[in-house]
Amino acid sequence: MRRKLAAALLALALGALVGCSGPPGAGGPRLEVSEEPSRIWQPVHLRLVSLPPGGRVTIRATARPQAPDGTSGGTWSSQAAYVVPSSGVVDLDREVPVEAPFSGADGMGLFWSLLGDHGEQATSPQQWGGATVTVDVDAVIDGRRIAARRLHRVGLSSVAPSRAVFDDGITGDYFEPSRAVGAPRPALLVFDGTEPDIETGVLAASTLSAMGYPALALSTYGSAGQLGPVRTLPAERVVAALNWLRSQPGVDPRRIFVFGTSRGAQLALWTAVAHPELVYGAIAPAGTTGLVCPSPVPGPAVTVGGAWVPCVSGTREVTTSSVLDLARIPGPVVLGCAGQDEQLGNGCTWMDVAATVRPARGGDAYVRAPQATHAFYLPPYTPLDLPPAPQAQPTEDARVSLWSAIGRALNVRGP
């Protein structure tokens, strides 16, 4: 009888310790999450509660994303160790880990530091943006799991539907927010495919749509898969795309933004400067702030009526005369540069000179990331195209800062 009673008490104690499947308020260690399911483009807040103070706990995350073809994308994992404070609560937003692939208190560190089975980096936007990702989080003390919880990070494809556009001589994908809003909203023309056959703007356009802003990802150099590299943008195609976007239901035609990153940044800025009657603001990180002729064979970056628009040769020499007249842009401008940019080593010089041409106004943001790498313009909170340590943390931090600035700029009221 005593043995049975002891066994029963032990079972109860273990059940209280695990406490991972019980409802909120259940006793024992448990993982609390601010939102379930949560959105992949937004942070989620995690706490491990009811722990004995002073001990060490390891919190692990395991993700199983889907590959673009719907098959398994493998297993991705990350973990961090914490010393439990006197409160018995490990709040990932506040506590600094004693061992982790990230530094400092970072509530999303376990999510963006995920690595594949063989230590590989994430490279597929569809896998780490489009599809919903399941993440299993558990906590371990002395090799024993004490709490666990399954999270779902809702992907963009379910909340930011798109449709192909083949109107007025333009080709692209239009992302319209699935949630209806009352007043007309700012909308964005995103320069996509700024290298032939590479759809670089679709992830940005779908993220912006998920945030509540209609976005047209323009196939900048024509249809995907076309023969021969084309590196000249006819201005007529841009004007047609702007007019098409302005005419869409729910779009505020007075608050049209252009969005371009890397090589697309200069195209976005040129469009805003050349057509302030059509464009309100510009978002253009990780690129030059002047119009640079394509290389290695010099040619026009933009044409108007078939004629060259003046462009500068090369990116090395940066003067006020080589920077576009950004003061002509009536609304907010968001720029950014990475100090460890492997593609544009003097990106911060281009941004600094731009700041002399256009000192920051209301809604403007010039995001400087001295230790970040080129792809800091991607949305945060996933491991997509992050560099290895030590640049991973500053690149992710720059993504958070940049996209926060983008959100603020889009909320600035137009004239």
Asked if residue 6 has pLDDT above 60, the reply is no
- pLDDT tens track for 250-260: 999 999 999 99
Q: Residues 318-326: what's their mean pLDDT?
A: 96
Q: Which residue has the tokens 């010393």?
A: 83
Least trusted range by pLDDT, from 18-27, 229-238, 399-408: 18-27
DSSP states of 120-143 as a string?
Answer: PPB--TIIIIIS-EEEEEEEEETT
Cis peptide before 390 (omega within 30 of 0): yes
Asked if residue 176 has pLDDT above 50, the reply is yes
Dump strand ranges (E) for 260-325: 281-285, 302-304, 307-308
249 versus 19: the higher-pLDDT residue is 249
Q: Hey, what are 183's tokens?
A: 């007043």
Give the model's pLDDT for residue 178.
81
Give the model's pLDDT for residue 21.
36
Split at pLDDT 50, 70, 90, the class of 11 is: very low
Give the model's pLDDT for residue 227.
43
- pLDDT tens track for 209-234: 999 999 999 988 765 544 445 678 99
Give the model's pLDDT for residue 180.
64
Give the model's pLDDT for residue 156.
92
Closest by CA to 321, choosing from 332, 313, 330, 329, is: 313
Give the model's pLDDT for residue 26.
52
End-to-end CA distance of the chain: 81
Asked if residue 14 has pLDDT above 50, the reply is no
Closest by CA to 122, choosing from 189, 40, 45, 46, is: 40
Q: Which residue has the tokens 């994308």?
A: 73
Its pTM stands at 0.90
Dump strand ranges (E) for 228-385: 233-234, 251-259, 281-285, 302-304, 307-308, 333-338, 365-369
